[in-house]
Amino acid sequence: MCSPATGADAAGSQGSAKPSANRRYWENNGATVPNSGFHLSLIWDLMGSMAHPQVSLQGPGQAIRLSPARAFLVYAYLQALDLLTTLAFLLARVEEANPLVRHAMAWTGSPLFGLLLVKTAALALGWVCWRTSRLRLLERANYFFAVLVAWNLVCLLLGLARAMQP
């Protein structure tokens, strides 16, 4: 049930005076965060952050940084790409190199369910990073998984090239 945002609700999480990670990010970077009028917990917070600018330039010579919600969405997107590229190279008969993922696939008896188990855990960790304002860790994970997806594509191409040889 939604109610008008007043007092602590306007500042962040419902019933708490502590502002949300997204609100703190924008307030710390000098941006004004308009009062949405309603607070619908986590989903509303995520949706509200999509209406705000997606990046912040910290100053001359500084890096452009995504908002916490955007960083988490990029993280989730990269997890989905990793899942899909891993499934593709497994179909091309390329073996999984990560022992944790191999163990999960063996434990569940299915590559798909093993990967889904690992990706669910990864998304839970990313969500914790987002909600606890560990943006730098989430950004580093995004860089890592972007490289990992590229590596998966290279492995897929090599596996397909090997399969085409007589």
pLDDT tens, position by position, 81-114: 999 999 998 888 888 889 999 999 999 999 999 9
CB 145 within 8 A of CB 153: no
- The residues, any chain, with a CB within 8 Å of residue 71's CB and separated by 6 or more, are 130, 135, 138, 139, 142
Mean per-residue pLDDT, 141-145: 94
- The residues, any chain, with a CB within 8 Å of residue 76's CB and separated by 6 or more, are 123, 126
Question: Tell me: the pLDDT tens digits for 53-85?
Answer: 455 555 565 666 677 888 899 999 999 999 999
